[in-house]
Amino acid sequence: MNAYKELIELYKDIMVWKGIASIIHWDFETYMPSDATSQRAVQIATLQELVHEKITNPRIGILLDECLQDDMSTGGNESLVKRNLHLVKREYDRATKLPSGLVAKIAKQSTIAVAKWKVAKKKGNFSMFKPELEENLKLIKEKAKYLNPGKDPYDVLLDLYEPGVTAASISSVFKPLRSGLMKLVKRYRKNANDAAYQFLSREVPMAQQREIAHRLMEFLGYNLKRGRLDETEHPFTVGMYKDVRICTHYHLNNFMSSVYTVLHEAGHALYEQNIPERLWWLPAGTSCSTGIHESQSRFVENIMGRSIVFWEHFLPIVKSITGNTFSDVDVDEMARAVNRVTPSKIRIEADEVTYSLHVILRFELENDLIHGDIDMDELPTVWNEKMDHYLGVTVEHDSEGVLQDTHWASGLFGYFPDYALGNVYDGMFLENLEADEPQWRESVASGNGEIVTSWLASNIHEKANLHDPLDLVEEVTGKDINALPFLQYLDSKMDTIHGI
């Protein structure tokens, strides 16, 4: 057991330094003086190098071998000890299997690729970016081979973000999801320029938007003694345990952007705040996966935040803060506006029904690219064809098509599917929330948002990283992952709101 204790102390040290690095990054995005960029870059790089050295410390490998070979006395915590050892070994293996030269190549190439992507996107010309994307793809496939030479390369990459899933398991969920969503798009599609929705662009002063944001956090039970709300160009959440910080952005003529950003980011933040203290600084005292994290943010943002009952409670609050700005808008009009189905060319502008179709398209394309089933020259054309088929929109230039996201330029192959998996998980979690708390809608309408966030805390947050994602879903719901609950939720909500 002494080897285990030493191993856990070493891992705690790693987590502490990761936490320091995250707060340094938060400062970089928020309050750092503008002329300090180059100095901060050195600091961040030094911290990253330090964390990498600690993760790859040979002593960790020695201690892991001792722990895995010994018949330890676990004091009744056998499952927790085994999980911690599994998580440390997984991270150690990933860090040590990659040659330092390849890690450096990938880091350098990603920097070059992102810079070239920015220029290509501005000019709407994929051919300018193509050589860098080809090099990224080559290096990422090489990375997958080092990590697990006997496994399908795309499965290796998927496992980095959503442990335990494979391209085959995702496809078995995404195929019926794609079919069902395409039917819903046809049924509920609305005109994006409909005059009934124009009130959303009315001017709301920044001071009022800040007050709305703080009322949202109170409603959700976000603990401001263990967090902050700040402003930045690109919203994000950072931190853990007693220090979890949210950043949002306010738009004068689009106050709804900050409403749903705060709801989304608060969903992420509550997950981190609610990890139980008994697991702090342990490998299992982290979030489960990217997809589960997305499910928590999207549950708060969409399933609760776009519900009629949410607006029954929150529209009067908005009116009390904004005066006469929305005095002529009722709850039904607001619910229809925030749940309109308007196919877009841009993923981050997509509505709740169409969003997962954007993700499925990217999953299919990166899977094909990695396996050589499409040539890089074909990528823009195939992208545009799928956009037309799935969403009925015509992509006119590469900036609003294949060049819109930074993920592939940054080398993040295998990341996209988690956005849609989060939605699928939510459909399943919703069924259990309704069984456990059948009056949750009435409670939300009366101002009790914590009936939802407390359920999420008890069933997901407090389980932290004790399970891989598919095992967690099965433990919470008793079922294997499937898309039907999410499709049924969308159809029922849209039918109620739009009356079609």
Q: Domain count of the chain?
A: 2
Q: Could you tell me the pLDDT band of residue 499, with boundaries at 50, 70 and 90?
A: confident
pLDDT at 35 over 60: yes
Note whether 291 and 425 are same-domain residues: yes
The values of phi and psi at residue 240, to 5°, are -160, 155
Q: How far is CA 477 from the centre of its chain?
A: 21
Domain boundary among 97, 114, 139: 97
Asked if the structure places residue 202 within a domain, the reply is yes
**Residue 500 binned pLDDT confidence (cut-offs 50, 70, 90):** low
Q: Are 152 and 16 contained in the same domain?
A: no
Pairing of strands 243-248, 236-240: antiparallel
Between 78 and 183, residue with greater pLDDT:
183
Query: What percent of the chain clears pLDDT 90, i.e. is strictly above it?
Result: 92
- Residue range 121-140: average pLDDT? 97
- Are 350 and 375 spatial neighbours (Cβ–Cβ below 8 Å)? no
Q: For residue 338, is it within any domain?
A: yes
Instruction: Look at residue 76 in the predicted model and tell me its pLDDT.
Output: 60
Q: Is residue 143 part of a domain?
A: no
In angstroms, how far is the first alpha carbon of the chain from the final one? Answer: 63
Residue 102 forms part of a structural domain:
no
DSSP state at residue 246: E
Q: Are 352 and 498 part of one and the same domain?
A: yes
3-state secondary structure (DSSP) of residue 189: strand
| 104-110, long-range: CB < 8 A, 24+ apart | 105/139, 106/139, 106/140, 106/143, 106/411, 109/135, 109/136, 109/139, 109/411, 110/136, 110/409, 110/410, 110/411
Please compute, for residue 374, the number of CA atoms within 13 A of its CA located in the half-sphere on the CB side. 14
Residues in Cβ contact with 427 at an 8 Å cutoff, skipping those fewer than 6 apart? 483, 484, 485, 486, 487, 488, 489
CATH number (domain holding residue 443): 1.10.1370.30
Q: What is the DSSP string of 337-383?
A: HHT-B---SSGGG--TTTHHHHHHHHHHHHHHHHTTSS-GGGHHHHH
Mean pLDDT across the chain, nearest whole number? 95
Q: Quick one: CA torsion of 415, 421, 423, 426, rounded to 10 degrees?
A: -130
* Residues 152 and 84 grouped into a single domain: no
Question: Environment class of residue 45 by beta-carbon count within 10 Å: exposed (0-12), middle (13-18) or buried (19+)?
Answer: exposed
pLDDT in tens, 45-75: 899 889 999 999 999 999 999 998 876 655 5
Same domain? 83 vs 174:
no
pLDDT at 195: 79
Catalytic residue numbers, as ranges: 265
Over residues 282-325, the pLDDT tens digits come to 999 999 999 999 999 999 999 999 999 999 999 999 999 999 99
Domain-located, residue 231: yes
Whether residue 209 sits in one domain with residue 92? no
What's at 63, amino acid-wise?
L
**Residues recorded for the chain:** 500
Q: What phi and psi, each to the nearest 5 degrees, are found at residue 327?
A: -65, -25
Q: Please report whether residue 108 resides in a domain.
A: no
Domain boundary among 35, 64, 97: 97
Residue 438 CB neighbour total at 10 angstroms: 9
> Coil, strand or helix: which one is 421?
helix
Asked whether residue 288 falls in the same domain as residue 205, the answer is yes
Q: Are residues 18 and 156 in the same domain?
A: no
Burial class of residue 213 in the structure, from the number of CB atoms within 10 Å of its CB (0-12 exposed, 13-18 middle, 19+ buried) = buried
Q: Residue 223 and residue 89: Cα distance in Å, rounded?
A: 33
Residue 320 lies in a domain: yes
Cα–Cα distance measured from residue 115 to residue 441, given in angstroms and rounded to the nearest whole number = 47
User: CA 236, 240, 241 angle in degrees (round to 5)?
Assistant: 140
Same domain, 87 and 185: no
Residue 138 backbone phi and psi in degrees, to 5: -60, -45
Max avg pLDDT among 6-15, 106-115, 230-239: 6-15
In a domain, 136, yes or no: no
Provide the domain limits for residue 69.
1-97
**70 within 8 A of 81, measured Cβ to Cβ:** no
Residues 177 and 84 in one domain: no
The percentage of residues in the chain with a pLDDT greater than 70, rounded to a whole number, is: 98
Co-location of 410 and 497 in the same domain: yes
Domain-ending residue, one of 97, 131, 165: 97
- Do 165 and 65 share a structural domain? no
Q: What is the pLDDT of residue 72?
A: 63
Q: How far is CA 410 from CA 38, 140, 364, in A?
A: 20, 11, 18
Residue 192 has pLDDT above 80, yes or no: no
